[in-house]
Structure 1
Amino acid sequence: MEKRSQTPPLHHHYHHHHQSLTMNLSSETEIECIDHQEETQQHQNQLSPINNNNNHLHVDEKSFTNKRYMPLLIINYLLLFVGSISSSLLSKYYFIHKGSSKWVSTWVQCAGFPLLIIPIYFPYLINSTKRTPFTDFTSKMITLSIFVGIMLGLNNLLISWGVAYLPVSTSALLLSSQLVFNLILSAIIVKQKITFSNLNCVILLTISSIILALNSSGEKPEGLTKKEYFIGFFCTICAGLLFALYLPVMEKVYKQVYSYEMVMEMQLIMEIAATVLATVGMAFDGGFSEMKRESEEVFDKGSEVYWVTVMANVVTWQFCFMGTAGMVFFTSSLTSGICMTTLLSMNVLGGVLVYRDEF
């Protein structure tokens, strides 16, 4: 009988050996790839610990800001409430008692920017935040802040001209016109969703302002020419329109920040830009020498009251802008505009009670 060979055929042995070798090589290749990926990841982590730390820091700061949401919202609304009413009354007080410089009135609205150092550095000094102030700023954010600051400076100048020639009640009613434009510009710039509730709120507030304006005295104040009254009217309307643009632009800028401290830092840059604009205007118009002359010779309440009025204007206007910035950051530009329009009724009441404005 013919014996079968116990040895497998050569080609079968070779094929089996080739498969084993291929599998081994594939496994080794996969292991090497995994090891290489792990080494690469470890290497990247070693090269960029700052980026990783920054990501964790951003999350921590955002979480910390969210925890403080309600207290900060209340504080900023109170700042807006006190600042809005006080600044309008004090600005009118300056002009009533023979102050006449529009540039001085513009300058005091933004010269209080050093006060912003308190909310910027205080949390860092008491170790309630790990973030160092003025970090994570890009050139784009700085440029936007400067642009908005110049816009703010122009708005301040227009408000100064309006307050100089119009009663507080009249200027407050005219400024309420910004709400309709705020709604439109918010929808265009920040894609604000127009709902029935916010549309209804805007319509009701606007109609109430129109009714108040129609029922108020249409006579211009005593001693005011028609030209001056028209200038005051025109400047106040323009200030309202510019402020309606200012609010959604601010909201657009604040979408790039993740903490309340950064909002105050950007606000500081805006205020510095506005102050530079006002300072240049004062320098060319002789505003600084006029301040000295007004305090010593013109202001009918005396030098001490003059400087107290100036400093009080500086502080209260800063409260107003700090509150506005906070309200935009924590809510929206439209909500902030609605709150400010609501407060304008208090300004009207303040003008009637304090200065006996006709109404």
Structure 2
Amino acid sequence: MFVLSGQSVATMLGRLYFIKGGNSKWMATLVQTAGFPIMYPFIFLFSPSKTPQYHQQIVKRPSLTTLVILYTTLGIFMAADCMLFTFGLNFLPVSTFSLISASTLAFNAFFSYFLNGQKFTPFITNSLVLLTFSSTLLVFQSDSEETGKISRSKYIIGFVCTVAGSAGWGLMLSITQLAFQKILKSTSYKVVFDMTVYQNMIASIGILMGLFASGEWKDIKGEMRGFESGQASYIMNLVGTAVAWQVFTVGYVGLIFEVSSLFSNVIGTLGIPIVPVLAVWFFDEKMNGVKVISMLLAIWGFVSFIYQHYLDDLKEKTNARLINLDHEVNLTGTSSISQ
């Protein structure tokens, strides 16, 4: 629920920022990471002294140097991805942007195979192929009524930036799962909030440096005064976007911690039909035939992936029952012999 709600609200508010007169790409990028302070209370809430004993099993606590390198690397990845997604969201309609972002799943699957030992079954392969087709299909509809006000060059830039951001995001998800497995090795949920806070903090520092280096910070006051809905609406938009992205971040990191990076990505893909529908309702965007086909392919791909998880779960339960049955038989046999 955190992934779906946070992603949908943040994407809509991010697009609204540009529609109502926002122009600062650095500011639009900053709000994607700057909401991390709201997660600090949860770090203390889930500290080892507050959590049950069985959640405190840590094989070996990583050194401070290792943690700094890990969070810095992920923070830089996040800052770069956020900037690429900002360009994509600025130059593309929100529904097109959301559907192209589905290519993250294909990239994540590729990296998961090499970094996380992800196994591919026919259903998972079918899911990835469908979701990839779903996103790339949209490049052929740039001359539609919806994109008539966007130049061909800006559309291509937006498309390339969104695909590049999706590739980087897919790699970052796989690295995050690898970090949980090989470095952090903790069963305490505190590591989820540590990961969320510290990588967002590093990313925010990098984006702030870019904001001041570019000189865009000088235009913030003027941008606020010129915002169509007023200054209060401008601030509410930025704050709401920052909070929504943090909700999304802690959701996707939590799913990686509990299951896998690929599963986390699939849940994010489930939000694909949500944003275009909201965009039609709030922004009067059009759902043409290409987007409808793309959406159906995305849903089909998602269902295929979930069905594979259902089969895996069914197999595990069957194996568990067989093991328990064998154990009971062995106990019964031992009891008879002793008698």
- Counterparts in 2 of 1:124 and 1:334: CA distance versus 1, 3 Å: closer
Counterparts of 1:351 and 1:214, CA distance in 2:
20
Find the partner of 1:265 among 194, 206, 209.
194
- 1:308 Cα deviation from its structure 2 partner: 0.5
Structure 1 residues 291-340: Cα deviation after superposition (integer angstroms, max 9, x where no partner): 222112x2111101000101001100111111111111111111111111
TM-score (norm 1): 0.72
2:19 equivalent in structure 1: 96
Alignment of 1:1-359 (within 5 A): 78-124=1-47, 127-128=50-51, 136-138=61-63, 139-209=65-135, 218-219=144-145, 221-255=147-181, 256-257=183-184, 258=186, 259-296=188-225, 298-359=226-287
Q: Which amino acid aligns with 2:153?
A: K
- Counterparts in 2 of 1:214 and 1:222: CA distance versus 1, 3 Å: closer
Would the aligned equivalents of 1:202 and 1:338 in 2 still touch at CA under 8 Å? Answer: no
Q: Which amino acid aligns with 1:171?
A: F
Would the aligned equivalents of 1:109 and 1:317 in 2 still touch at CA under 8 Å? Answer: yes
Counterparts of 2:176 and 2:169, CA distance in 1:
10
1:32 equivalent in structure 2: none
Q: Which amino acid aligns with 2:172?
A: Y
Q: 197-206 or 187-196: which moved more? A: 197-206
- Counterparts in 2 of 1:350 and 1:216: CA distance versus 1, 3 Å: farther
Q: Please give the secondary structure, in 2, of the residue aligned with 1:352.
A: helix
- Counterparts in 2 of 1:151 and 1:212: CA distance versus 1, 3 Å: closer
Q: Which amino acid aligns with 1:202?
A: L
Counterparts of 1:336 and 1:145, CA distance in 2:
20
Would the aligned equivalents of 2:102 and 2:134 in 1 still touch at CA under 8 Å? Answer: no
Would the aligned equivalents of 1:295 and 1:306 in 2 still touch at CA under 8 Å? Answer: yes
- 1:216 Cα deviation from its structure 2 partner: 8.8
Gaps of 5+ in 2: 288-339
Q: Please give the secondary structure, in 2, of the residue aligned with 1:344.
A: coil
- Counterparts in 2 of 1:119 and 1:198: CA distance versus 1, 3 Å: farther
Q: Please give the secondary structure, in 2, of the residue aligned with 1:176.
A: helix
- Counterparts in 2 of 1:209 and 1:285: CA distance versus 1, 3 Å: closer
Q: 87-96 or 168-177: which moved more? A: 168-177
Indicate the RMSD between aligned Cα atoms, in angstroms. 2.3
Counterparts of 1:119 and 1:146, CA distance in 2:
21
Would the aligned equivalents of 2:116 and 2:174 in 1 still touch at CA under 8 Å? Answer: yes
Counterparts of 1:307 and 1:164, CA distance in 2:
19
Would the aligned equivalents of 2:46 and 2:189 in 1 still touch at CA under 8 Å? Answer: no
Counterparts of 1:219 and 1:232, CA distance in 2:
17
Structure 1 residues 242-281: Cα deviation after superposition (integer angstroms, max 9, x where no partner): 1111110111111133121012112211111100111001
Q: Which amino acid aligns with 2:270?
A: T
Q: Which amino acid aligns with 2:20?
A: H
Q: Which amino acid aligns with 1:224?
A: I
Gaps of 5+ in 1: 1-77
Would the aligned equivalents of 2:227 and 2:234 in 1 still touch at CA under 8 Å? Answer: yes
Would the aligned equivalents of 1:217 and 1:358 in 2 still touch at CA under 8 Å? Answer: no
- 1:348 Cα deviation from its structure 2 partner: 1.9
Q: Which amino acid aligns with 1:319?
A: V
TM-score (norm 2): 0.76
Number of aligned pairs? 278
Would the aligned equivalents of 1:170 and 1:213 in 2 still touch at CA under 8 Å? Answer: no
Counterparts of 1:328 and 1:127, CA distance in 2:
22
Q: Which amino acid aligns with 2:46?
A: P
Counterparts of 2:206 and 2:111, CA distance in 1:
25
1:22 equivalent in structure 2: none
- Counterparts in 2 of 1:210 and 1:349: CA distance versus 1, 3 Å: farther
